[in-house]
Amino acid sequence: MFDKQIFDSRSSSYKRPYGAVPMGTVVELTLRPRREEGFSRGVLIAKYEFQDNRVEEHPMVWTDTDLGVDVFTGTLPVAEDYTGLIWYSFRLEGLNGQCKELGPYQLTVYDPTDEVPDWFGRGVCYQIFPDRFCRTRIPSPMGMVGGRTVHGSWNDEPDWRPNDRGEVRNRDFFGGDLKGVIEKLDYIASLGVETIYFCPIFEAAENHRYGTADYDRVDPMLGTNEDFSRLCREAHKRGIRIILDGVFNHTGYVSRYFNGDGYYPGLGASQSKDSPYYDWFCFQNWPKEYESWWGIYSLPAVNEHCPSYREFIFGGEDSVIRKWLRAGADGWRLDVADELPDDFVRGIHQAAREEKSDAVVIGEVWEDGSNKVAYGVRRRHLLGYHLDGLMNYPFRSALIGFLLGASGEQFQEQMETIRENYPPFAFYSAMNALGTHDTLRILTYLGTGAQRYEWSKETRANYQMTEQEAEWGWRRLKLGLLVLFTFPGAPTVYYGDEAGMTGFADPFNRRTYPWGRENQEILAYYRSMGRLRKEHECLRSGRFAWGHCQGGHIAFTRQLDGEGMAVAVNIDSAEAQVTLPWPYPSATDLETGKRQLVRSGVLTVKVPPMGSRLLRWKKGG
């Protein structure tokens, strides 16, 4: 059971320090049961999950009474060499034999010696789906892997109807290329972007390129390996880093490794057991029956324990991880990271850091990554020397839920769970987004109020929001963007969201960028948010604290040295009065310029219906 009056793991009155702790920390714990319950003894029980669930018990000593409660205190001394989860609970005992149990609570213990680069979580990240961003010519698909077709018109709809075998093969391309991205780097920089995250760029048969055909080669429809290095050089001149998508859980059926269709001249695993790649895959009945990603035959799963595969991906001096960092990349995002073995992820991390000391490794995990279980194994994602941050889908779910009517308390609870469970480096390096290539367009979601999977694909393909839906979608999105760009973690923009693109889930969320047809009001607001994030250091790395979150409003502050920022958002149809802790003598509204004096360390602001307030204090200004 849980009783916050007796123990609240998020309050310094009950637990110090807050949240996840470095190994070797002594955690101070306090229980406060009501005196009338008559408890005379407390016991702390700690279960070390990553040491075969070893259990320790520590006494909780009665130390005081305080306003009708008994105070029991104790410590949990975390070993110097332990990283992992500790599940701790309490037992209160009375002289009359009564007993009360509390918990279990999660304590994340991480290795602080892993020096995580802080650049990713500071600035704005921009996600590009390469085939659909910008093209400099209409390419010919002749001779390219996969039997591709190319749309002549940039404004065509992506193919979505199944063929006569019931398959949507994703072989239609629009021809977006790296030179097109280079041409648009100044545009990207105008959004305040400091990191570009690319969906896969390596040769592949499908337009999404998640079934890699050749890890050593940029897809020729995108350009050449030298085009990629040039892109990195030009981006770096503008203060923009590049993160690549690493898809290492599976390859393509059409690939030089599996070579299911015989396109490549060498022997693939499906052609001969003498292939150098045969041991990379897991065949139940060679060559037709094999493990694949989620049963999709075109994505044969690899055996990540195979020594030659490990050498190829991260072990050798010319491994995939090292090669592309040397070519100019600054980090990797690992596709389906929770489906990769922990030691495989650790090998990637080690190779990346050795090759480039400030390279980052971000993982795709859709849940709370601190306690994620995949294939029966509790993952070590955030314990140090594995992943530096995660795609923060819990943030997306919580914020969209709030914008569509969930309470401020729910948003705070969901985000406080992440903040408590994640080491600080992971909380501040999270990839926060409202939309990605795997989700429907955020304007559509907020306008229609649902994902609409119950609708037919044809209905979703042709759906146009009503004027009222479009208006409500934009009003909600505007509030969501303020939270996104001021919350800890990297605010991540999916290409085209800033232009007002709409669409339900794949492939309608992967339409081409509407160059020359952008929604200028939405674009201007995204740019203003990008400037806000870039110009205010407290939003980039400042301490975080909650204000009053209740009903239809949320509030929080960011503080760093001589600057503080207060954020308040109200989704209700009535004005809200919100309070925030504010250690400064005044606050200035950034929209109106009006200055407000503060008394007793509490800032009280009135937030208009479906509106927001953003206030700032800066020393000497």
The CATH number assigned to the domain holding 99 equals 2.60.40.10
pLDDT at res. 289: 97
**Residues 341, 347, 349, 350, Cα dihedral to 10°:** 160
Residue 3 lies in a domain: no
Residue 357 lies in a domain: yes
pLDDT at res. 219: 98
Is pTM beyond 0.85? Reply is yes
Q: pLDDT, tens digit, for every residue of 446-476?
A: 999 999 999 999 999 999 999 999 999 999 9
**Residues 418, 419, 425, 426, Cα dihedral to 10°:** 10
Domain check: are 96 and 215 in the same one? no
Domain check: are 231 and 264 in the same one? no
Domain containing 40 equals: 15-110
Domain check: are 298 and 317 in the same one? no
Cβ density class 141-179: b for 16+ within 10 Å, e for less: beebbbebebbeebeeebbeeeeeeeeebbbbbbbbbbb
Query: Reduced to 3 states, what is the DSSP secondary structure of residue 415?
Result: helix
Residue 286 lies in a domain: yes
Domain check: are 368 and 503 in the same one? yes
The CATH number assigned to the domain holding 580 equals 2.60.40.1180
Q: CB of 189 within 8 A of CB of 182?
A: no
Last residue of a domain, one of 90, 110, 130: 110
Domain check: are 160 and 297 in the same one? no
- Cα separation, 277 vs 264, whole angstroms: 13
Domain check: are 444 and 358 in the same one? yes
Domain check: are 58 and 131 in the same one? no
Domain check: are 182 and 210 in the same one? yes
Question: Got the DSSP string for 428-439?
Answer: HT-EEES--TTS
Residue 334 lies in a domain: yes
- Cα separation, 480 vs 116, whole angstroms: 28
Q: pLDDT, tens digit, for every residue of 134-167?
A: 999 999 999 999 999 999 999 999 999 988 777 7
pLDDT over 90, % of the chain: 97
pLDDT at res. 563: 97
Residue 5 lies in a domain: no
pLDDT at res. 620: 76
Question: Got the DSSP string for 581-595?
Answer: E--SSEEEETTT--E
Q: Report phi then psi at 614, rounded to 5.
A: -130, 115
DSSP 8-state code for residue 279: G
Q: Which residue has the tokens 């596709």?
A: 335
- Cα separation, 135 vs 131, whole angstroms: 8
Q: pLDDT, tens digit, for every residue of 563-614?
A: 999 999 999 999 999 999 999 999 999 999 999 999 899 999 999 999 999 9
Spell out the alpha helix ranges (H) of 487-536: 520-535
Domain check: are 468 and 586 in the same one? no
Mean pLDDT over residues 81-87, rounded? 97
Domain check: are 272 and 200 in the same one? no
- Alpha-carbon torsion (568, 572, 575, 580), positive or negative: negative
Domain check: are 75 and 130 in the same one? no
- Cα separation, 295 vs 289, whole angstroms: 11
Mean pLDDT over residues 108-128, rounded? 98
**Continuous segment of H or E residues that includes residue 611:** strand 611-618
pLDDT of 208 over the 90 cut? yes
pLDDT at res. 164: 76
* Cβ neighbour number for residue 53 with a 10 Å cutoff: 9
pLDDT over 70, % of the chain: 100
pLDDT of 621 over the 90 cut? no
Mean pLDDT across the chain, nearest whole number? 97
Q: Where are the beta strands (DSSP E) in 67-166?
A: 69-77, 84-94, 99-110, 124-128, 149-150
- Cα separation, 340 vs 592, whole angstroms: 50
Angle between helix 393-403 and 467-486 (nearest 10): 130
Residue 10 lies in a domain: no
Last residue of a domain, one of 509, 535, 561: 535
Query: Reduced to 3 states, what is the DSSP secondary structure of residue 320?
Result: helix
Residue 157 lies in a domain: yes
User: How many folded domains does the chain comprise?
Assistant: 4
Domain check: are 267 and 311 in the same one? no
pLDDT of 168 over the 80 cut? no
- Cα separation, 46 vs 311, whole angstroms: 39
Last residue of a domain, one of 59, 88, 110: 110
Among 41, 150, 122, 42, which Cα is nearest to 90's? 42
Residue 115 lies in a domain: no
